[in-house]
Amino acid sequence: MTAEDHQPPARAAPAATATDVAHDGLERRRLMLSFDAFDTSHHRLWLRYAHTQAGSREAAQRIVEDACRHLLAHWEHALRRQSLTGYAWTVLKEHVAAWLAERGLRPQLAETAAFHTAVRRVLLDELRDEFAVLEGEMGLYAAIVRLPERQYDVVVLRYVLGCSEEEVADCLGFETATVRSHIRYAKRRLARELRTAPGPGTGEG
């Protein structure tokens, strides 16, 4: 007879009380309400961003749906993060990257109408040598995709999708001053790569 044979039978875990069940139900309800509120405020922008990367609305919808399912499954963990919006943005970016990698694609930014509208109407206004940039539209695209990741995100959100600096900050979980800093450095780099004179807001010229 082994030592284990002398052990008293294990006690069964106490059954959940009605109060416990009600509390768990309320907690799940609270989590769902907070997730729904987050989704409502970010879903449309996420779709627009995913569209610029995947090149089609249908692909964007699949990417965002998958990202939202992942986020919901880890919502309690997300709520404990220092920056919920920053963590959620990382989840979205990971799903975008996975979708592109599975298909051997690069971001489809240059193929989207939003990009071409932004090039002609917004970004050019903030780079001085507009003619040179127009002549090198694909060069501008190539320069944008070579930006560091955060600068790339800020440029796409600010100039391609037309978000305010405050909206970009909220989406990425940054301070507005950080967004402005990323914009300033991105514009310097774009101007340098396109061999244009630095424009307003670059801190030069």
Q: What is the pLDDT of residues 25-44, one digit of tens each?
A: 788 889 999 999 999 999 99
The confidence score (pLDDT) of residue 191 equals 80
Q: Per-residue pLDDT for 8 more than 80?
A: no
Rounded percentage of the chain residues whose pLDDT exceeds 70: 71
Q: What are the DSSP calls for 91-158, one per residue? A: HHHHHHHHHHHHTT----GGGSHHHHHHHHHTGGGGSS-HHHHHHTHHHHHHHHHTS-HHHHHHHIII
Q: Which residue has the higher pLDDT, 180 or 19?
A: 180
Q: What is the pLDDT of residues 113-130, one digit of tens each?
A: 667 676 656 665 666 544
How much of the chain is in helix, strand and coil states, percent to nearest 5?
75, 0, 25
Question: What's the chain's average pLDDT?
Answer: 81
The confidence score (pLDDT) of residue 2 equals 45
Does the pTM exceed 0.85? Answer: no
Helices and strands in the chain, H and E counts: 10, 0
